[in-house]
Amino acid sequence: MLGKWFGGIVCGMGLVSVAVAQGHKDDSKAFVASHYTKHEYRIAMRDGVKLYTQVYTPIAAKMDDKGPYPFLMTKTPYGCGEYGNDKVGGRATGNEALLHSGYILVCQDVRGRWASEGKWFEMTPAHDGKGIDESTDMYDSVEWMLKNVPENNGRVGILGISYGGFYTAASIIDSHPAIKAASPQAPIMNLWMGDDSYHGGAFMLEANHTFYAPFFMPQQNPLTVEPKNNFDFGTKDMYAYYLKMGTMEKLDSPAGGTNPYFHDQVVHTTYDEYWKVRNLTPHMHGVKAAVMDVGGWFDAEDLSGPVQVFHSIDTLSPEAKENTLVEGPWFHGQWARDNGEHLGDVHFEGEQSVFYREHIEAPFFEHWLKDKAWQPLPKAYVFETGTDVWKKYAAWPPTPAEKKVLYLQAKGGLGWSAPMEARSKDEYVSDPANPVPFTTEPSGDDVPREYMDGDQRLVAKRPDVVVYQTAPLTEDVTIVGPVKPMLKIASTGTDSDFDVKLIDVYPEDYSGPEGKLAGYEMLVRGEPFRAKFRKSWESPEALVPGKVTDVDFSMQDVNHTFRKGHRIMVMVESSWFPLTDRNPQVFEDIAKAKPGDYVKATETVFHQADAASGIEVLVMPKGSE
């Protein structure tokens, strides 16, 4: 959601390879202009609300496939753009193989946004057949298109990235039987639970504020011209900006450029009904289509969505024709435009996005919508970082994986055996006035995506960060699935954050093709956790100062091999700013915290026989697949 995804083009968040993306866009637009005809419709839903819909139909005489054609549709809250029959966009897909094959391309402005009528809701709640929602809007749209758009073959495919991924997933609940294939890509599934808004109970500060304040706001629709927004941060140094703003209360004011959408994100600080009704995962029933759930291991925004929708469909819609998880080495939406060869300094041995578009996405839709022969996809088709190879598994996480625990040890050690010391701990002082940064680069008005595999040497020597690492590995270690920290902590505060990072430490003499990775401390996965939520997301509970306390949580999935000669590292810190909001380290509703509430706290991490800390991981046995 927060990368500002517009039907195949990522805006904001410092797009890598802008020239490459622009080149693809220009080529695709030129092809659509010469090989498709455009029509605009306003399709009436069952309650009379009309949704603006762009339809591009192939010119049969110019295509190898002479038709009839299936529909390929996307829905967006960001505007289909290029309004008017004389203007060409074609935002359903940027996949050139699909454009050249011939599909009736459809883009629809969702209810309540841009040229469509109605009222917009953040992550429209699903009503399970008892009201109007995204499923009914898609059903009515498909029914109308089948009857009114000529040269269609009676089949519909839908896809979308980010918010478009949410609309794709929400549209296949109790779906129209003509929807034969769907691909929710980086879908938002549960905003509060490890998705765009909150991770581990901590607010994803910079991503949300830079999305809502200058960009995404309520509209007086229908409209076709974006309203002017004059909000200006006045600096590229977002660490300094948010530190100066001080409190969430000030950000949620005219000084912070707030609007009703941002306000809702800020004030709902627990997992209350606002969030629960927007959780799509319990509603993925009645899915009749073949589904391909797509995500990126380094997606800073919607990393959890693809895995969530994958498991939800497996559980609630076993009748789905197919349900496959595809995960590549990508940032948010990278698979659709960039070549996917690298993220920051870390390279992935080839153009992985091009491979995906040509050998995974295009064949998927060609088979289910045009009956083309293909090699069926495995249950999980996932890129293994570290070795830079694609793996095919019959389940996710892979069934052979074995549960193990990496234990924190005295003197910064990390190992597979539980600590034996009677007394062993590390202490550090967490100061909200000097929080640990998540990047040292001026990020501007968006989160730099490179932090997701960035070099953690930038913070490793800070006194408020504790570091544990193995000896150099004597053989490869492959970790798959969720990573689960299990900490024994104490604090002098009544609330604190415990941010945990899993890191791949390259050898000091590393001389690989990247050239910059000698001693590199690559972030593989990192997550914050707000200690007051250790027992309940709905009913937070204060820490008792000085009391040894369990802090157990789950980080998002990985598929990474730590190579022989590398080290596995774990970092623990109590701020990650301004990626997440600061914890005052006092038990309270942070949305209402005052400047004077932010105080220092001494944090203790135990690693002793009766209070062992570690991270539980799933390790692939040697030689297994």
Chain segment 430-444, per-residue pLDDT in tens: 999 999 999 987 777
3-state secondary structure 251-265: HCCHHHCCCHHHHHH
Range in 16-20, 119-123, 477-481, 546-550 with the lowest mean pLDDT: 16-20
The pLDDT of residue 511: 84
CB 281 within 8 A of CB 309: yes
Same domain for 605 and 495: yes
CB 538 within 8 A of CB 272: yes
The reply to whether 241 falls in a domain is no
Domain contains 255:
no
Task: Count the Cβ atoms, other than its own, within 10 Å of residue 16.
Answer: 21
Judged against a pLDDT cut of 90, whether residue 238 lies above it is answered with yes
Which residue, of 393, 423, 456, is where some domain finishes? 393
Assign 490 to helix, strand or coil. strand
Whether 488 and 588 map to the same domain: the answer is yes
Look at residue 206 and tell me if it is in a domain.
no
Same domain, yes or no: 485 and 557: yes
Q: Is the pLDDT of residue 11 over 70?
A: no
pLDDT tens-digit profile of 294-309?
Answer: 999 999 999 999 999 9
pLDDT number for residue 516? 82
Residue 506 inside a domain? The answer is yes
Among 565, 583, 557, smallest CA distance to 205 is for 583
Res. 25 pLDDT band, cuts 50 70 90: low
pLDDT number for residue 9: 40
Residues 316 and 432 in one domain: no
pLDDT at 6: 44
Same domain, 153 and 175: yes
**Domain final position from 393, 420, 455:** 393
Cα dihedral sign for 334, 337, 341, 345?
Answer: negative
Q: Is residue 597 part of a domain?
A: yes
Residues with Cβ within 8 Å of 276's Cβ and at least 6 positions away in sequence, in order, are: none
Strand bridging mode 521-527 / 465-469: unpaired
pLDDT score recorded for residue 623? 78
* Residue 211, domain member (yes or no): no
Q: Are 168 and 299 found together in one domain?
A: yes
Q: What is the CATH number of the domain that holds 431?
A: 2.60.120.260
Q: Are residues 18 and 165 in the same domain?
A: yes
Whether pLDDT at 90 is above 70: no
- Residue 280: name the closest of 176, 142, 163 by CA: 163
* Selection from 517, 499, 503 nearest residue 469 by Cα: 503
For 230, counting Cβ atoms within 10 Å of its Cβ (0-12 exposed, 13-18 middle, 19+ buried), the class is exposed
pTM over 0.85: yes
Q: Are strands 9-10 and 5-6 parallel, antiparallel or unpaired?
A: antiparallel
pLDDT digits (tens, 9 = 90+) for 92-137: 888 999 999 999 999 999 999 999 999 999 999 999 999 999 999 9
C-alpha–C-alpha distance, residues 199 and 197, integer Å: 7
**Whether the Cβ atoms of residue 305 and residue 295 lie closer than 8 Å to each other:** yes
Same domain, 387 and 450: no
Same domain assignment for residues 384 and 527? no
Q: Report the 10 Å Cβ neighbour count for 407.
A: 20
Cβ-count burial of 394 within 10 angstroms (0-12 exposed, 13-18 middle, 19+ buried)? exposed
What tokens appear for 273 in the block?
A: 């009904």
Q: Enumerate residues 6+ apart whose C-beta is below 8 A from 536.
A: none
Asked if the structure places residue 237 within a domain, the reply is: no
Neighbours of 215 (CB within 10 A): 18
For the segment 244-286, what is each residue's pLDDT rounded down to a tens digit? Answer: 999 999 999 999 999 999 999 999 999 999 999 999 999 999 9
pLDDT in tens, 451-505: 999 999 999 999 999 999 999 999 999 999 999 999 999 999 999 999 999 999 9
Asked whether residue 421 falls in the same domain as residue 328, the answer is no
The answer to which of 52-56, 412-416, 425-429, 437-441 has the lowest mean pLDDT is 437-441
User: Residue 335: pLDDT band by 50, 70, 90 thresholds?
Assistant: very high
Decide if pLDDT at 383 tops 60: yes
Torsion angle defined by CA atoms of residues 348, 351, 353 and 359, in that order, rounded to the nearest 10 degrees: -120
Q: Of the residues 331, 362, 393, which one is the last residue of a structural domain?
A: 393
Domain count, the chain: 2
**Tokens coding 192:** 């509060």
**125 in the same domain as 17:** yes
Q: How sure is the predictor about 214, in pLDDT bands with cuts at 50, 70 and 90?
A: very high
> Per-residue pLDDT tens for 576-608?
999 999 999 999 999 999 999 999 999 999 999
**Shared-domain flag, residues 294 and 336:** yes
The residue segments making up the domain with residue 499 are 402-619
Domain of residue 38, CATH code: 3.40.50.1820
- C-alpha separations of 448 from 14, 276, 352, 452, 572 in Å: 6, 29, 21, 9, 22
Buried b (16+ CB within 10 A) or exposed e, 608-624: beebbbbbebbbbeeee
Question: Burial of 352 by CB count in 10 Å (0-12 exposed, 13-18 middle, 19+ buried)?
Answer: buried
Mean pLDDT of all residues in the chain? 94
Q: Is the pLDDT at 14 greater than 90, yes or no?
A: no
Structure tokens at 622: 């040697």
**Cβ(6)–Cβ(79) below 8 Å:** yes
For 275, list phi and psi in degrees, rounded to 5.
-80, -40
Alpha carbon 499 to its chain's center: 18
- Could you tell me if residue 243 is inside a domain? no
